[in-house]
Each structure stands twice: as C-alpha cells, then as structure tokens.
C-alpha cells in the first residue's frame, strides 16, 4: 500500500468526452453486463440442480449446504487481494484472467467424481470469481464521471439478475434433459467465448486514474484531481464504508439464499412444479432487476437536482431494504401458497437489490487510487454471507424439516431490517470523503 499523502499521478488532458468515447464506454459496459451474467449463472447452477445432485450423491441438506458454502471459502480472500491489486494492474487483464479461470474450474466436476471433487471445483471457482464484481464495477466506473455512474453501475449489477433469469430456464432444461454435469460444460464454453470477446473489445477507461473529473451537479466529495492517496484505514473506518458494508452484507445474505435454496423452497416447501419453480426464480430476479433500474433512475434524478448522496443513495437504498425486510417477516403471517410466494418474491427481490447503491457509494467515497482496494475489501467482507447462509439454511432444514425454509426467510428479514437501519443512519459519502481525503 502507498502511504497517505503521496502525490497522485496526473495527466495533461481531460478525459475525452466526445461521441467515440461514449460509444466505447457503453460497449465496455455491455461486455461487463455479460461478464456478470456468466458469473451468476455459474453461481446458480447448483441451486437449480439441487434435487438431482442430492439424489445422485446421496447428500443431506446440510451436506448440500456445505457444498454451496465451499464456493465462498476463498471467495472473500481472493476478492480483497485482487481488489487491492486492481489499483496497480489494469482491470482489463484481471477480468480476462478471471473468465478463463472460471471455465477451467468447471471441468473437474463436469468430468465426474463425487462430493470431494464437487467441493474442490467450487472452491476453485469461488476463488476465481471472488474479485469479479468489484473489478467489473471499477472497470465500468472508469469510463464515467461521478454524476453519470448510477446507470452503468446499475447495469453491471443488473447482469447478476440477467444471469439468473437466463440460467434458470436454460440450465434447468439442460439439467433435465442432459444432466447437471452437462450444464457445467455449457457454462465453461460460455466463459471461454466471453474471454475471446473481451480480449478483442475490452479496455480501461479514462477515469481509471486521477484524471480530472467532469463537473458534477452534486455537492459531493473533493474531485479526483485534488484527492491524494489516503491510507486505506481512513476510508474503511468511515461511517459510510461501515454502514454500506453492513447493509450490503444483509442484502448479499439474501442473494446467497436465493442462489442456493430458493428453487428447492419453491418446489419442496411451497409445492410448485420444477418448471413453475424455474419461472418463479426468474420472476424474483426480474423484480430485483427492475428495482435496480428504478433505483438508478431515482438516484440519478435526485443527484442531478442537487440532492445530496446521503439522501439519493443512503435513504433510497435503506428504503428498499426496509420493504424487503417487511415482506420476508410477513411470510409466516399469511396463509396460502400464492400469498407466501408473492411475499417471498418481493422480499428477496428487493432485499437483494442493494449492490448498485453500495458500489456507487464507495466509488464516491474513495479516490481513484484507492477505489479497487475499498471496493474489493467491501466485497470480501460482504461475501462472507455466501459462506455462512447456505450452511445455516441446510442446518435449519435438517433440524426443522420443511419449516426450516420459513425460518430461513424470517432470519433474512431480520438481517435486512438491520441493514436498512445501518444505511439510513450511517451513509453520507460526501461528508466522509472530505474527512478521509484531508
């Protein structure tokens, strides 16, 4: 790490703002959306094939939960390490290496083997995917000034939703007709295809380093030109970083539950058919995706009118978590499959939609020379939820039977409520950026 107070690197020219730069920026953003689609299709495949895998390998719910949790064993460590590395190495090459490693990691379990091979493959895949989200966001943000980052940040995050939406019906068909190992081969091939496209078209943007920012309509933090290289501890110790990370942790817990156990809950807990469950999984993620786009639109509209990011990001984000918490906590209070399914979709869909708020908030808080580390450390902390949640839910199912699904949703609702309160009371990036950078 570079000591605080080191003078930032400067460039002579303002980043290009012409037509060509805009077209390239959106091309790169589109590729990064697809990158995140592949990333979350990889994550969702075990949940979609849960019944087949458990039957094939004779696994208990706890065993299957641990297999899902294994994905996150090195996920957080890799996310933090590569996040720090992204402040020094071009994101283009980091993203290319990650995509190739994803495809390689799928092959051991695709070739055969038992639970040990499956767990080893998922650990390897998790290590390769751990840095994906923060590095992809850093790459996207490098093409846009602060006041234009809400939409690209939301779109890259939307790739998470689109990945599951396309994976749910597509991979379910492959699993039902050709087996779950065939689905792993499909994902490996898609990863290689994306890597080829990125090698040809991917690039780092003009706002990656301490180049001058375009004028912002907000009363936000000091510009990137004036920002030095504060010690990471000053950024990570701010109320905004802590509040954002806690809120995002509770949201990621919800995502992990959706990926590992939502298909099984819909089938075994609520009695939906496999095809209906796949469609309902997609619908839940669609709702989350629409929420992401709506949040980006509202946040951008507020910031263009001079509303502080404390309100535009912190309060809007907390509102989404409050609604998600209320829906999850209401699930045991209603009768009937339809009502429970609707509340489940709203609670998980909105509860899991905090990622774009988190990323744009930390991007505003940290200067460019510290963004990779700040985002990577946040992501590493947050994704420990993925290590814990699947195993906890598996234990609840083995000890409580089908009732365990409902207990898991109530637990998620309580965590979302905590996250909403943290976002509401702690997030203020304009205030904390000034303190961290001076």
Report how far residue 321's alpha carbon sits from residue 340's, in angstroms, rounded to the nearest whole number: 19
**Beta strand residue intervals within 110-217, DSSP E:** none
- Check residue 209 and give its pLDDT: 56
Residue in 436, 29, 327 with CA at minimum distance from that of residue 202: 29
**In which band, very low, low, confident or very high, does the pLDDT at 418 lie, cut at 50, 70 and 90?**
very high
User: Whole-angstrom distance between the N-terminal and C-terminal Cα of the chain?
Assistant: 18
**In which band, very low, low, confident or very high, does the pLDDT at 438 lie, cut at 50, 70 and 90?**
low
- Over residues 235-267, the pLDDT tens digits come to 999 999 999 999 999 999 998 898 888 988 998
Report how far residue 136's alpha carbon sits from residue 129's, in angstroms, rounded to the nearest whole number: 11
- Average pLDDT for residues 37-55, to the nearest whole number? 86
Coil vs helix vs strand at 230: coil
**Residue 31 CB partners (closer than 8 Å, separation 6+):** 194, 197, 198, 201, 202
From residue 334, alpha-carbon distances to 81, 338, 412 in Å are: 45, 10, 17
Mean pLDDT of the chain: 84
- Check residue 420 and give its pLDDT: 97
DSSP assignments along 273-301, one per residue: -HHHHHHHHHHHHHHHHHHHHHHHHHHHH
Residue in 294, 298, 281, 268 with CA at minimum distance from that of residue 348: 281
What is the CA angle 282-56-45, rounded to 5?
25
Residue in 43, 44, 50, 49 with CA at minimum distance from that of residue 65: 50
Q: Which of the 8 DSSP states describes residue 6?
A: P
- Over residues 314-325, the pLDDT tens digits come to 999 999 999 999
User: Mean pLDDT lowest for which of 81-95, 164-178, 412-426?
Assistant: 81-95
- Average pLDDT for residues 155-184, to the nearest whole number? 85
**In which band, very low, low, confident or very high, does the pLDDT at 20 lie, cut at 50, 70 and 90?**
very low
Residue in 388, 414, 243 with CA at minimum distance from that of residue 325: 414
Give the burial class of 190: count Cβ atoms within 10 A of its Cβ; 0-12 exposed, 13-18 middle, 19 or more buried.
buried
Residue 172 has pLDDT above 90, yes or no: no
Taken in order 77, 80, 83, 89, is the CA torsion positive or negative? Answer: negative
Q: How many Cβ atoms sit within 10 Å of the Cβ of residue 416?
A: 31
Residue in 253, 263, 260 with CA at minimum distance from that of residue 284: 263
Give the burial class of 234: count Cβ atoms within 10 A of its Cβ; 0-12 exposed, 13-18 middle, 19 or more buried.
middle
**In which band, very low, low, confident or very high, does the pLDDT at 210 lie, cut at 50, 70 and 90?**
very low
Between 132-141 and 91-111, two packed helices, what is the crossing angle to 10 degrees?
150
Domains of the chain: 21-204+232-436 (1.20.1250.20)
Residue in 215, 242, 265, 291 with CA at minimum distance from that of residue 17: 215
Q: Which of 163-172, 214-223, 422-431 has the highest mean pLDDT?
A: 422-431
Q: In this structure, are residues 112 and 131 in contact, taking their beta carbons and an 8 Å threshold?
A: no
Coil vs helix vs strand at 102: helix
- Check residue 412 and give its pLDDT: 97
Q: Which of the 8 DSSP states describes residue 7?
A: P
Report how far residue 180's alpha carbon sits from residue 183's, in angstroms, rounded to the nearest whole number: 5
Coil vs helix vs strand at 138: helix
Report how far residue 121's alpha carbon sits from residue 108's, in angstroms, rounded to the nearest whole number: 6
Q: In this structure, are residues 321 and 302 in contact, taking their beta carbons and an 8 Å threshold?
A: no
> Model pTM greater than 0.85?
no
């Amino acid at each position: 790490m570079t000591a605080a107070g080191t003078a930032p690197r400067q460039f002579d020219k303002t980043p290009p703002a012409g037509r060509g730069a805009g077209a390239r920026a959106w091309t790169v953003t589109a590729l990064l959306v697809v990158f995140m689609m592949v990333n979350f299709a990889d994550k969702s495949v075990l949940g979609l094939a849960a019944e087949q895998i458990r039957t094939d390998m004779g696994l208990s719910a706890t065993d299957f939960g641990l297999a899902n949790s294994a994905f996150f064993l090195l996920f957080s460590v890799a996310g933090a390490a590569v996040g720090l590395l992204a402040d020094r190495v071009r994101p283009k090459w980091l993203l290319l290496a990650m995509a190739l490693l994803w495809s390689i990691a799928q092959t051991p379990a695709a070739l055969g083997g038992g639970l040990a091979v499956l767990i080893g493959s998922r650990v390897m895949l998790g290590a390769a995917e751990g840095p994906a989200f923060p590095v992809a966001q850093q790459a996207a943000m490098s093409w846009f000034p602060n006041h234009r980052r809400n939409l690209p940040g939301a779109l890259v995050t939307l790739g998470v939703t689109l990945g599951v939406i396309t994976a749910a019906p597509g991979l379910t068909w492959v699993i039902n007709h050709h087996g779950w190992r065939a689905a792993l081969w499909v994902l490996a091939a898609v990863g290689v295809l994306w890597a080829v496209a990125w090698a040809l078209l991917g690039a780092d943007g003009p706002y990656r380093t301490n180049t001058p920012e375009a004028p912002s309509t907000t009363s936000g933090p000091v510009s990137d030109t004036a920002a030095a290289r504060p010690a990471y501890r000053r950024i990570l110790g701010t109320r905004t970083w802590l509040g954002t990370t806690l809120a995002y942790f509770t949201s990621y817990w919800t995502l992990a539950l959706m990926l590992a156990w939502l298909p099984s809950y819909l089938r075994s807990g609520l009695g939906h058919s496999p095809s209906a469950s796949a469609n309902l999984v997609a619908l839940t993620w669609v709702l989350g995706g629409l929420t992401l786009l709506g949040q980006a639109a509202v946040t951008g509209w507020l910031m263009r009118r001079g509303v502080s990011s404390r309100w535009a990001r912190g309060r809007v984000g907390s509102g989404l978590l409050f609604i998600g918490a209320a829906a999850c906590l209401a699930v045991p209070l209603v009768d009937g499959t339809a009502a429970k399914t609707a509340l489940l979709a709203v609670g998980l869909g909105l509860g899991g939609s905090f990622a774009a708020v988190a990323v744009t908030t930390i991007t505003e808080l940290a200067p460019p020379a510290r963004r990779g580390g700040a985002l990577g450390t946040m992501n590493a902390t947050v994704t420990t939820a993925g290590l814990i949640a699947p195993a906890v839910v598996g234990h609840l199912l083995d000890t409580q039977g089908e009732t365990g699904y409902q207990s898991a949703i109530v637990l998620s609702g309580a965590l979302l409520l905590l996250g909403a309160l943290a976002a509401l009371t702690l997030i203020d990036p304009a205030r904390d950026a000034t303190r961290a950078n001076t």
